[in-house]
Amino acid sequence: MATKDRSAIVSGMGVGMSIIQTLVGKAQRRGVPDEVVHSLATPEGDALLDQFVEIMASTRRGANDSNLYPITVDYTLSLERMIAAGHYDWKNDDITAKHFPMKGEGSANVEIQLVHFNRVMESETVIRELDTMGLRPATLEELLAFGAKYPDIQREFPIVALGSVWRYASGFRSVPFLGRSGAQRHLGLGWFEVRWDENYRFAAVRK
């Protein structure tokens, strides 16, 4: 092996070790448990690594293409008016105030983060992964405020809000999501028990 090649490998190893040491040090200072750090070297750590890569990609794309979307949720509006503000071409008739009673008061400014795991996920797993990231699933009210302010995003990929769940009489649970059919924008319900495919994003809010 040429001396130049060996030097490049050693240099690369040094940079890699420096990144790992810095990451571990920052995690420890923030109180991240050792088992969470160790999980990065296991298949269970893929979701966190995906988030690191997404953050780096977003930084490279620039602040205007960030994965954070500021919204204002106006809880003085009825659920019907929140839905109307989104101008959806179609909505599921089971998305009602009776099935999804509103819980907030006044207005709240929050940032919606669209989390993309890029793999098939079950709802419970998504919620656990969001928790390790310091996030909680967005509610229906937050999803509607997002859909009204950023109407074109759901044309790129479907967006799920696991923070609001309605249980059918049969026992099955459903959650709201924003999707599309052709050029039309939909406000629909999906089964909580379903396995979401790689294309889905999960609306989340910092705890």
Write down the pLDDT at residue 22: 78
Q: pLDDT tens for residues 136-161? A: 999 999 999 999 999 999 999 999 99
Question: Where does 35-145 show beta strands of DSSP type E?
Answer: 68-74, 90-91, 107-115, 121-122, 135-137
pLDDT band at 55 (very low <50, low <70, confident <90, very high): low
Confidence of residue 9 (pLDDT cuts 50, 70, 90): very low
Q: Are 188 and 176 in contact (CB under 8 A)?
A: yes
Which pLDDT does position 52 carry in this prediction? 62
Q: Dig out the tokens for 202 from the structure.
A: 């999960």
Helix (H, G, I), strand (E, B) or coil at 12: helix
What is the rounded CA–CA span in Å between residue 188 and residue 180?
9
- With vertex at residue 203, the alpha carbon angle to CA 197 and CA 206, rounded to the nearest 5 degrees, is 135
pLDDT in tens, 35-53: 777 777 886 666 566 556 5
pLDDT of residue 32: 76
Summarised one tens digit per residue, pLDDT across range 174-200 is 999 999 999 999 999 999 999 999 999
Q: What is the per-residue pLDDT across 63-105, written as a single tens digit (0 to 9) for each?
A: 334 689 999 999 999 999 999 999 999 999 999 999 999 989 9
Residue 39 contacts residue 27 (beta carbons within 8 Å): no
Write the burial class of residue 62 (CB in 10 Å: 0-12 exposed, 13-18 middle, 19+ buried).
Answer: exposed
Which band of pLDDT confidence, cut at 50, 70 and 90, is reported for residue 19? confident
Q: For residue 65, give every residue at least 6 positions away whose Cβ sits within 8 Å of its Cβ, in sequence order, or none.
A: 58
With beta carbons less than 8 A apart as the criterion, state whether 109 and 205 touch: no
pLDDT value of position 64: 36
Q: What is the pTM assigned to this prediction?
A: 0.69
Q: What is the pLDDT of residue 43?
A: 66
Q: Compute CA distances 9 → 20, 73, 196, whole Å.
A: 16, 52, 40
